[in-house]
């Protein structure tokens, strides 16, 4: 199983399809590198985007993203049916999220002694859940074509099953960390809903969880980390624009570079990832074999290169399975 992973593409309406697009060359080089890597590793079985596809949640930005993904899929031998997306804070239409009534609901959640239960209460009210999710309407229209759209209260996370090499299942779980996202976002002041803390273990199933915001941005960071570390051998995050690979006994946690970081950011380093996933070993001693290929931009000479794990161009890890 080969997974191609992007995060934080930030298609900006004022730039895309113009001669002044500052990321046109970078995107071209990214596609060229994906094609070269696909020739070495094979065509991606899944393309995961961990949020911030758009810059301002604008419909035109999502339409551009659709066409860019179609070009990318054609180039690397994959298909649009392989795409799996979750929302990020830039996929929110902030003019809607910043409305007084919506901010009143956000404030109630943030001040609650049990914010998770408070979110569940609001999601159970059709009028209020509509207010919470209306800022994601454009994202949902985009995500619908990949069967990743969200419809509260029952469908607040996206799922998809893929088949691993031994016939077992790789189950993708896409979480929504932008439930209360707006212009007022602060680290430690965002939340996931109750369903995100109810991912189950199942015989013959390997869970892979995708979320936009890194755990450090969530009020429930300790609770969610404990849950994911128990149930999800593969965890993928975005948002912080810094690539990190954490390899623990029970999981690999991959935090992504931004495909289009702001050029004014310190340590500007665009990047993306390939992740190879397979099951090895006898039935009574199965292991999940993970190989992360982290690709980062190098300047002068320009091009995407492998990020090194000491003397290896691959971050390789094994996790015991049932």
pTM: 0.96
Distant-in-sequence, close-in-space partners of 303: CB < 8 Å, separation ≥ 6: 29, 33, 297
Identify the CATH number of the domain in which residue 94 sits.
3.60.21.10
Domain containing 127: what range? 2-320
What tens digit of pLDDT does each residue of 220-267 get? 999 999 999 999 999 999 999 999 999 999 999 999 999 999 888 888
| Cis upstream peptide for 16 (omega within 30°) | no
pLDDT of residue 284: 87
Residues in the chain predicted with pLDDT less than 70, given as ranges, are none
Distance CA 15, CA 189 (A): 31
Looking at the DSSP bridge assignments, the partners of residue 190 are 218
pLDDT of residue 144: 98
What tens digit of pLDDT does each residue of 177-224 get? 999 999 999 999 999 999 999 999 999 999 999 999 999 999 999 999
pLDDT of residue 265: 86
Rounded to 10°, the helix 59-76/24-41 angle is: 40
Give the total number of structural domains in the chain: 1
Tell me what the pLDDT averaged over the chain comes to.
96
């Amino acid at each position: 199983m080969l997974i191609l992973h992007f995060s934080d593409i930030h298609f900006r309406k004022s730039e895309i399809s113009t001669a002044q697009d500052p990321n046109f060359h970078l995107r071209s080089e990214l596609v060229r590198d994906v094609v070269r890597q696909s020739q070495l590793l094979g065509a991606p079985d899944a393309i995961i985007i961990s949020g911030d596809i758009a810059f301002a949640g604008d419909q035109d930005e999502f339409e551009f993203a659709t066409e860019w993904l179609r070009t990318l899929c054609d180039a690397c031998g994959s298909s649009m049916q392989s795409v799996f997306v979750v929302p990020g804070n830039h996929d929110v239409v902030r003019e809607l999220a910043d409305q007084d009534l919506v901010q009143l609901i956000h404030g109630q959640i943030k001040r609650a002694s049990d914010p998770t239960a408070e979110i569940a209460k609001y999601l159970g009210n059709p009028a209020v859940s509509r207010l919470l999710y209306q800022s994601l309407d454009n994202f949902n229209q985009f995500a619908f074509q990949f069967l990743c759209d969200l419809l509260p209260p029952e469908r607040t996370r996206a799922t998809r099953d893929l088949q691993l090499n031994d016939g077992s299942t790789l189950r993708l779980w896409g979480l929504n960390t932008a439930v209360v996202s707006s212009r007022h976002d602060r680290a430690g002041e965002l939340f996931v809903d109750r369903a995100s803390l109810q991912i189950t273990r199942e015989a013959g199933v390997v869970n892979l969880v995708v979320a936009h915001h890194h755990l450090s941005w969530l009020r429930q960071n300790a609770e969610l980390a404990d849950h994911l570390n128990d149930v999800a051998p593969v965890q993928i995050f975005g948002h912080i624009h810094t690539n990190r690979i954490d390899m623990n006994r029970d999981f690999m946690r991959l935090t992504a570079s931004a495909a289009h970081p702001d050029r004014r950011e310190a340590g500007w380093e665009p990047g993306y990832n390939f992740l190879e996933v397979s099951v090895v070993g006898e039935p009574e001693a199965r292991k999940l074999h993970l190989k992360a290929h982290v690709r980062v931009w190098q300047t002068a000479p320009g091009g995407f290169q492998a990020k090194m794990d000491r003397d290896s161009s691959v971050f390789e890890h094994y996790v015991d399975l049932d």
